[in-house]
Chain A
Amino acid sequence: NAGVTQTPKFQVLKTGQSMTLQCAQDMNHNSMYWYRQDPGMGLRLIYYSASEGTTDKGEVPNGYNVSRLNKREFSLRLESAAPSQTSVYFCASSVGQPQHFGDGTRLSIL
């Protein structure tokens, strides 16, 4: 069972570069989410997609865009990376409760 798969696992960017984080789930879940986790903190919601074809902002959406490509895939894009976006990014999916998380993408922006 793959569950929620995130790529890449690690990435280093320079300030101003763009990047897309990929997420795919094979559990036929309707809802998908992107969170970020800063050192020593809990996760904060960036964007979510309640169902295919819809996306909505979470708590910290500034500097990000998302695309729900199909039911399986939900991507997160940084158009112009900033050092403040250095974080670990988690994708999750759910149908009802609970949410199932990918293993995360560790992103460093220099």
Chain B
Amino acid sequence: AQKITQTQPGMFVQEKEAVTLDCTYDTSDPSYGLFWYKQPSSGEMIFLIYQGSYDQQNATEGRYSLNFQKARKSANLVISASQLGDSAMYFCAMNKIKAAGNKLTFGGGTRVLVKP
């Protein structure tokens, strides 16, 4: 079974500063994917970034980067230069990479509030 833990229920960040959201995971599968999703107050789930377990380099997507430390089983999200629109819930998730049916397991989320 897979498990995702997000230990920060909520955090404040000053606009234009960077913020790191913690995510640790547990799995016995050698091949897995790690994801971050953003959920604004409007409720939709927005995909941010993906890291495969065999990827050598940390994933980056614009202002988002994933700090992947395989030995520590952590996949922290770094948001650089925070903007007011970054205020939202952020979910870390993982799945076992298969040909089909890549079921996601989610963490409990971290609420981020960006202060002007």
Contacts and interface: CB of A to CB of B under 8 A. Distances in A.
Interface of A: 30-31, 33, 35, 40-45, 48-51, 56, 58, 88, 90, 92, 94, 96-101, 103-104, 106
A97 B101 contact: no
Given A41-B109, A42-B107, A98-B35, A48 B101 contact: yes
Interface of B: 4, 33, 35, 37, 43-45, 47, 50, 52, 91, 93, 97, 100-109
Given A101-B45, A103-B44, A48 B109 contact: no
A48 B103 contact: yes
B33 A30 contact: no
Contact of B106 (A30, A43, A96): A43
B54 to A, nearest CB: 13
B103 A94 contact: no
A98 B102 CA distance: 9
Q: Give the interface centre of B101, B105, B108 by most chain A CB atoms within 10 Å.
A: B101
Given A97-B50, A98-B47, 14 more contacts: A41-B108, A42-B4, A42-B91, A42-B93, A43-B45, A43-B91, A43-B106, A44-B106, A58-B103, A97-B33, A97-B97, A101-B37, A104-B45, A106-B43
